[in-house]
Amino acid sequence: MDRLPTKGLSPLARRVDDVLARYGYEIGPAIEAIDDAVTGYGGLFDPGTS
């Protein structure tokens, strides 16, 4: 799969694109990987994260 253009992205957006590319731009597995990497209850995308 072709990568999205990353010129002009912030460092955070570039890292998110790296994660998405690693999982073939499948949002479900990418969110799970991000959640696993972020400390707090349920990960980054959980409303209860502190």
* Residue 48 counted as domain residue: no
The model's confidence at residue 30, banded by pLDDT at 50, 70 and 90, is confident
CA–CA dist 44, 47 (Å, integer): 8
* Residue 28 counted as domain residue: yes
Domain that holds residue 33: 9-42
The model's confidence at residue 13, banded by pLDDT at 50, 70 and 90, is confident
* Residue 47 counted as domain residue: no
* Residue 18 counted as domain residue: yes
Over residues 8-26, mean pLDDT: 80
Lowest mean pLDDT among 2-6, 16-20, 33-37: 2-6
* Residue 24 counted as domain residue: yes
Q: Tally Cβ neighbours within 10 Å of residue 25.
A: 15
User: What is the average pLDDT score of the chain?
Assistant: 73
Name the domain count of the chain.
Answer: 1
47 three-class SS: coil
